[in-house]
Every structure is written in C-alpha cells, then in structure tokens.
Amino acid sequence: MVKLGSRIDVAIVGGGMAGASLALLLAKFCPNLSVALLEQRPLMDPGASIALPSFDTRATALAAGSLQLFDELGLWPQLKPYCAPISRVRVSDRGRAAGVAFTADKQRRASFAGMLGAVIENAALGPVLYRALARLPVTLVSPAQVERVRVCDQGVDLGWQGEDGPGCLAARLLVVADGVDSPLCRQLGIETERVEYRQRALVATLATQRDHGGVAYERFTDRGPMAMLPLPRRDGSHRMALVWTCPEEDAGELQALAPAAFVQRVQSAFGWRAGRILRSGELQGYPLSLHVAWEQWRRNLVLLGNCAHFLHPVAGQGFNLTLRDSYHLATTLAAGCCTGESPGQLNLLEEYGRARRLDQQLTIGFSDRVPALFAAPGLLAGGLRQAGLLGLNLAPSLRASFIGQAAGFGL
Ligand SMILES: Cc1cc2nc3c(=O)[nH]c(=O)nc-3n(C[C@H](O)[C@H](O)[C@H](O)COP(=O)(O)OP(=O)(O)OC[C@H]3O[C@@H](n4cnc5c(N)ncnc54)[C@H](O)[C@@H]3O)c2cc1C
C-alpha cells in the first residue's frame, strides 16, 4: 500500500504490457529499488483475467529474444502452455509464384529451443505477468488515474485519483508507460512525430480444419498484408490468429460482413494452407499509425512502450522492441545502483537512450517500410515484391538480417 505522500525510487504509470514487464525486470535486476506500478483501471482479479487494453483478444508474436528474456525472469514454464511455437515463417504474395520461408535452424544465432518465436494470446499473457508481480515486492496502485506530474531536480511528484479519492507520491524516476496519445506526455510538453497510415488491422481468432504445423504465414493480399499466426489448440480445435491490415474503407466493408461471409473472404485471400476455415471469433479493428516521441528521456523521466513508439503491427515488433528497451533500462539502472547513482540521474538515462537508439531506428524503419512496399497495388509494385521475396530466398546475408530483425535478437 502506497501511503499519501510516500517517497519511492521508481514510479511506473500504466500497467499494460510495457509497464508490467518493466516492473518485473526492475524487481529482478534492481532488487534494492522500491517500485510502484500505477494503473488507472481496476485490476479486479489479476490471477484470472486482466481487463486492460494490452490484454484484449489480440495475440502477440514473441520473438526468440523475448522468449529468452521471459526465461531469464523464470516465466517460461508459466508461459509455455499458452504459447504456440513458430518453427517456420512463410512469406508470400497472392497470385505470384515467389515466396520465402524462414526456419529456425538457418539463423545466425541460436534460437530459443529451436524456435523462431512463439505466439501467445494477450488475454493469457496478462495473468501470467500479474501473478508473477504479485509474488514480488512491487507496489500495485490501482485504480489510480495519474492526472498530475511535476518533474523537478530531486525527482517527480505524482498526483492521482483513486477509488478512495486523491493520492500522491514522490519518485526519483518516473516511467511513463500510459499508451499511445499519452495525456501525460502532452502535460510534460513532449511532442510526437505521427504518420497516419489510414489503415486498420482486423484481428480475429479463427478455427481451422487442419493443424498449422507451427507455421506463421505473412501473405500480401490485394487489400494489404495478412498474418496468420499459429495458436495452441483449445477444446480440440485447431486455431490461428488473423491480423489483416487493410485500407480504412476496405476494413469497414469487411467488418460489416456477416461472420460466414467474412470467413469466406479470408479463405479466398489466404487459400487452403490450413484447410477449411471453420469459423471466426469476435472481429476487432485497430486504426494504425506511427507515433514516435521526440524525447524519450529527461532527468528523472523515461517514456516506454506505445507512448514512446507506436508501430505498424505488420512485422509484430512493437512489444518485442519494448521488451528490449525495458531490459536495457533495468540493467542500466542496476549498474547505476552499484555505483550509488540515483535512478533518475541524467547520465544514466542518456546512456540508456544511446544504447537503444540504433535498435529503435532499425525496428521503426523496418515496420514502417514493409507495409508501404507491400500495400502498393499494380504490376510494378507486384514485380518489386516478387523480386524482393526472390532476393530474400537467394541472398543469404539479406535473409539473415531480415530474420535477425524479425526474431528480435539483440542489435
Ligand atoms: C493489432 C496489433 C497487433 C500487435 N501484434 C504484436 C505482435 O505480434 N508482437 C509485438 O511485439 N507487438 C505487437 N503489437 C504491439 C503491442 O500490442 C504493443 O507494443 C503493446 O500493446 C504496448 O503496450 P503499452 O503497455 O505500451 O500500452 P497500453 O496497452 O496502451 O497500456 C497503457 C496502460 O496505461 C494505462 N493508463 C493510461 N493512462 C493512465 C493514467 N493517466 N494513469 C494510470 N494509468 C494509465 C492504461 O489503462 C493502460 O493499461 C501489436 C499491436 C496491435 C495494435
């Protein structure tokens, strides 16, 4: 319980995938730091389900590097039953012969248990993270909507509205992880670069006739890129997670279809690689844009997750990138603890920012360019895509760097 006016080392605002993962990493790497995680929504029964935006009906492709990180946190045994391993990725362009396949054994670096990665439903990931947090000395403050932040030389003052009225605390470091379009960043005067893609990601869980065999498909259709990701079987059903990125108007049309008609459209765009698509679960649409904050750190302040960078999901990179950011932040603060530095000290946060710059630039650029290439209609763009896929098949170094980027190995 955080008392009114308490003073702690690190306050994390936002209990989504970013905030919860950082809290776990800080508890492991910086056990001497006191950490509070503040979430505006109630965490009703963290053991059963977590009603936060991060942990909705989507599924997340975790790169091999992220699996290794969760293993280091001791969470792989808890995650494994909910994960479908990805042993192969097949990239193809509808109506064209060329395609490219990646398998785990052709990578530059050893992968996690021979996998390229694994897919987990977000609704399963949330309870695993929060059950682990409940066993650690991290203070959960919820519901607590942080409304006021003031950064000063000594640290940060936070004020929130909770169930029992207002609360406040002082922290030496504030980590803002409150999602895209963050009001707290606006309050702090942090601007964001934005690109509106005018696209929507349509997301649904599909039941299929045949097993996916551990294959993740990335297929470039006339409407836009379609990912079909393997999911673990449930109640005897073979399942896959669909993420179909379409222009806004096409997405609206597809969302208005009856479920059977929607399944038919998916079948005709995806083909019969998993046999007949039997049914679709609830269809959700996510408007897509690129947001990158102009500043990600200041003295006593760091931005993390969607509020720092919100990416196109075509390459499944957003959370994987955030995990790598979080790992570097936690290990940088741990090194600072050893030499008696305050977690909000500018030199530490600058060191963190410098270490993360290249990976962020590459990952953001990769997520931004792939949809642009594959969204372009017409013969020429189709030809370029085919040449690109053929190039990936033929040029081992190009393919290795594509896999390295997609698999999220430390860059
Ligand atoms: C369709 C889609 C598919 C994706 N697939 C993948 C994938 O396969 N692989 C991958 O790596 N990434 C993927 N991503 C990206 C991934 O979902 C994001 O990286 C992740 O959701 C980031 O979460 P977050 O914690 O930063 O933000 P959020 O989930 O938005 O969490 C922010 C939290 O802050 C809380 N909050 C907000 N304001 C306040 C306040 N004032 N006080 C207290 N709390 C507050 C909110 O309630 C919320 O719980 C995908 C994204 C989309 C849209």
- Contact, 177 vs 24, CB < 8 A? no
323 half-sphere exposure, CB direction, 13 A CA radius: 25
Rounded Cα distance between 80 and 8, Å, is 34
Rounded Cα distance between 410 and 321, Å, is 10
Rounded Cα distance between 117 and 150, Å, is 40
Lowest mean pLDDT across 248-257, 346-355, 363-372: 363-372
Q: How far is the CA of 43 from the centre of ligand 1 (A)?
A: 16
Rounded Cα distance between 98 and 387, Å, is 8
Which pLDDT belongs to residue 390? 47
Which pLDDT belongs to residue 314? 78
Which pLDDT belongs to residue 387? 53
| pLDDT tier for residue 135 given thresholds of 50, 70 and 90 | very high
- Other beta carbons within 10 angstroms of residue 65's beta carbon come to 21
Handedness of CA 361, 364, 367, 368 (dihedral sign): negative
23 pocket-lining for ligand 1 (C-beta < 6 Å): no
- CA-nearest residue, atom 3 of ligand 1: 313
Q: Which CATH fold would you assign to the domain 6-194+289-407?
A: FAD/NAD(P)-binding domain (3.50.50)
70 alpha-carbon distance from chain centroid: 14
Residue type, 248: E
Mean pLDDT of the region 369-389: 59
Tens-place pLDDT, residues 213-263: 999 998 888 888 899 999 999 999 999 999 999 999 999 999 999 999 999
Tens-place pLDDT, residues 30-52: 999 999 999 999 986 655 677 88
Q: Is the peptide bond before 143 cis (omega within 30 degrees of 0)?
A: yes
Rounded Cα distance between 92 and 106, Å, is 19
| Residue 103 pLDDT > 80 | no
Share of the chain above pLDDT 70, in %: 82
408 pocket-lining for ligand 1 (C-beta < 6 Å): no
| Residue 212, helix vs strand vs coil | coil
| Residue 253, helix vs strand vs coil | helix
Rounded Cα distance between 354 and 34, Å, is 25
| pLDDT tier for residue 96 given thresholds of 50, 70 and 90 | low
Nearest atom, ligand 1, residue 184 CA: 41
C-alpha distances in Å from residue 158, one per residue of 36, 152, 255, 270: 12, 11, 41, 49
199 pocket-lining for ligand 1 (C-beta < 6 Å): no
**CA torsion 297→302→306→312, rounded to 10°?**
30
Rounded Cα distance between 18 and 122, Å, is 13
- CA-nearest residue, atom 11 of ligand 1: 319
| Residue 389 pLDDT > 80 | no
Residue type, 53: P
Which pLDDT belongs to residue 95? 61
Return the DSSP state at 2. P
Tens-place pLDDT, residues 163-205: 889 999 999 999 999 999 999 999 999 999 999 999 999 999 9
Tens-place pLDDT, residues 285-332: 999 999 999 999 999 999 999 999 999 887 788 999 999 999 999 999
- Contact, 329 vs 354, CB < 8 A? no
294 alpha-carbon distance from chain centroid: 20
Mean pLDDT of the chain: 87
Residue type, 218: E
| pLDDT tier for residue 369 given thresholds of 50, 70 and 90 | confident
Which pLDDT belongs to residue 223? 85
Q: Which residues contact 254 (CB under 8 A, 6 or more apart)?
A: 202, 244, 246, 262, 265, 283
| Residue 405 pLDDT > 60 | no
82 alpha-carbon distance from chain centroid: 17
155 pocket-lining for ligand 1 (C-beta < 6 Å): no
Q: How far is the CA of 208 from the centre of ligand 1 (A)?
A: 28
- Contact, 322 vs 332, CB < 8 A? no
| Residue 410 pLDDT > 50 | no
76 pocket-lining for ligand 1 (C-beta < 6 Å): no
- Contact, 60 vs 125, CB < 8 A? yes
Which pLDDT belongs to residue 268? 95
Q: Which residues contact 272 (CB under 8 A, 6 or more apart)?
A: none
Which pLDDT belongs to residue 6? 79
Q: What does the domain layout of the chain look like in residue ranges?
A: 6-194+289-407
Which pLDDT belongs to residue 173? 98
Q: How far is the CA of 23 from the centre of ligand 1 (A)?
A: 15
Q: How far is the CA of 103 from the centre of ligand 1 (A)?
A: 29
